[in-house]
Structure 1
Amino acid sequence: MQPDWYPAWRDEAFEQLTAKNAILEKEFRLGHWPRHDYDLTTGRLLFSDNATVKVVAEIQIAGSISAKAGNWLWAWSNSNLPNELLADAKRVRSFGEENDIAELQQAYVTDTTDDLEALGWELTAAMVRVCDALGAYRSPRGEGGGLYLALKSASWAS
């Protein structure tokens, strides 16, 4: 269930996210720091080198993938996550409801292409586009999962 324009829109969202992430990589070396930590109480993602925080990003949580379950779970449907970090995900759900896009309004999205990570990036790209985020980051989790975060701001640590 989706409008005719949605597949092209989602492809464009992914292309936009790829470009945004390339800018973040160039400006802040995201993806190259030896360590990252996210703090769900402060809504921040910290990138560090030798125990020194170098880059700080404000985040919203898009969702997570689970290889075991073979699906994506939108953050707005995960009761274990803090409500303060779900505003953008809820906005995407509203966008999905307004435009009759099933994968944006149902809690779970099943991986039908056998590429769960790509599904996670595509749905995160939709959130980045709807909410005009700076980019996104995927934090690995145990058992073949990942937590997808939308970056709302990024700056060098002072």
Structure 2
Amino acid sequence: MAEEKSAPDWYHEWKHEAFHQLMDKQDRLEADYGLNTWPRYDYDVDAGRLTFSQDGVVKVMADIQVVGTIGSKDWLWAWANDHWPDHVVADMEEVVSFGETHGILELISGYVTDTDLNQLGWKLTAVAVRILNAVGAYRPPSETGALFLLIKSIRLVN
């Protein structure tokens, strides 16, 4: 019996390109919005919003979708996690559809494992950013696990 492939031959290079595209987008976000310079960030999953502020004043606002999380052993796609409200993971259905169309197992499996989960999280987020033509991503700082957010749009406030 032939072993089932987990992705088409072109996918590895396509994913690598998506990661580099995301790095370029992240550089532009930093240059235009200074995401790493604001003393405070907050996200409101119910509102689908990420804000950056200083002295209690919001300076940057972004519309987000939850891409996924990493724990101690694996990546969990947001669409496979009942914790997230449907409206903040809705766009991830397009990622699943892309995975189904092209036979990419890591895009249609709720859980994905790897030896470097942080790198896996960024790579899968880069794939989602590419498929959804998003402006970038954000990973809030955390001592335990990690949340990966897709930035759909972003703007300066005040």
Identity value in percent: 49
Measured in 2, the distance between the counterparts of 1:47 and 1:17 equals 20
SS in 2 for 1:140: coil
The reply on whether 1:82 has 2:61 as its aligned counterpart is no
Larger Rg: 2
2:147 alignment partner in structure 1:
147
Measured in 1, the distance between the counterparts of 2:20 and 2:37 equals 21
| Kept in 2: contact 1:138–1:149 (CA 8 A) | yes
Q: Kindly state the Cα deviation for residue 140 of structure 1 after the two structures are TM-superposed.
A: 3.0
TM-score normalised per structure 2: 0.94
Letter in 2 for 1:103: E
Where do 4+ consecutive residues of structure 1 move more than 4 Å?
none
| Kept in 2: contact 1:88–1:127 (CA 8 A) | no
Gaps of at least 5 residues in structure 2 are: 1-5
Q: Structure 1, residues 104-147: CA drift from partner, whole Å, max 9, x if none?
A: 00000012xx221110000000000000000000013452x111
Report how many aligned residue pairs link the two structures: 153
1:136 alignment partner in structure 2:
137
State the superposition RMSD in angstroms: 1.0
- Structure 1 or 2: more strand by fraction: 1
Letter in 2 for 1:21: Q
Superposition pairs of residues 7-86 of structure 1, within 5 angstroms: 7-67=12-72, 70-86=73-89
Gaps of at least 5 residues in structure 1 are: none
